[in-house]
Amino acid sequence: MTQLEFVAKIGSDSLNIVRIYSKGHLTLEEMAGILGKDRTELIRQYMGSVIPFWKPGAEKQGTACLLENSLTEGRG
């Protein structure tokens, strides 16, 4: 999925929540409470495709910067 497809599916208003999650300030469950289970699943899948070794909680191990770079550089 390209970044454009990703943003189209989750909505551009959700990107700030994704960034907050990617920095480890929200858990997957908290994000699901805000965005809903369907959007959260799309986000989890996208993060796994952009960062192949991504796993929930990996943001606490320093991989958040890779997602942040992906979202700001237009990769994906």
Token code pair at residue 63: 């991989």
The string of pLDDT tens digits covering residues 19-65 is: 898 888 888 899 999 999 999 999 988 887 877 665 555 554 444 44
Token code pair at residue 37: 């289970």
Is the pLDDT at 76 greater than 50? The verdict is: no
Say how many domains are in the chain. Answer: 1
Range of the domain at 23: 3-73
Q: How far apart are the first and last CA of the chain?
A: 7
> What 3-state DSSP class applies to 34?
helix
Which pTM value belongs to this model? 0.65
